[in-house]
Amino acid sequence: MNSEKSYTQIKQLIEQETNQTGKSFTVGKFTGIGWLFIQHSPDEPASPLIAVKQYAKTVNIYVPIDENEPPLVEQYASIFGKSNLGKTCIRISSLTPTRLDALKTLVQKIKKEAEQSA
């Protein structure tokens, strides 16, 4: 897989669906690009609801977790494969039209939830 090409496609898809340009952010040792930033408290920096980080062999997409609900990414196990899912993360080693469609749906769902809670 060409992770650079996939990273670019994923970033463009998220920017199109959120109508936002991704912003670089760092939390601890993690540095990535984020969208739909929310402020949890005045004492903490804003954090993104969607984040992407490119690695050598994968592009990882990080999404929010609701402690009262099953992890959002579990709904996509049949598309991305159970071994490619973490609690808040989807690891993408190959990008297909089906996976792009699933990511689009996921981003739309997160954006809608963000707008409802704003």
Query: pLDDT (tens digit, 9 = 90+) per residue, 38-74?
Result: 887 888 888 899 999 999 999 999 998 766 667 778 8
pLDDT more than 70, % of the chain: 94
Q: What is the reported pLDDT for 20?
A: 95
Q: What is the reported pLDDT for 38?
A: 87
The pTM assigned to this predicted structure is 0.89
Q: Which residue has the tokens 């949890």?
A: 40
Cβ pair 85, 62 in contact under 8 A: no
Report the length, in residues, of the chain.
Answer: 118
Residue 32 to residue 37: CA distance in whole angstroms: 13
Angle, vertex CA 46, rays to CA 73 and CA 113, nearest 5: 40
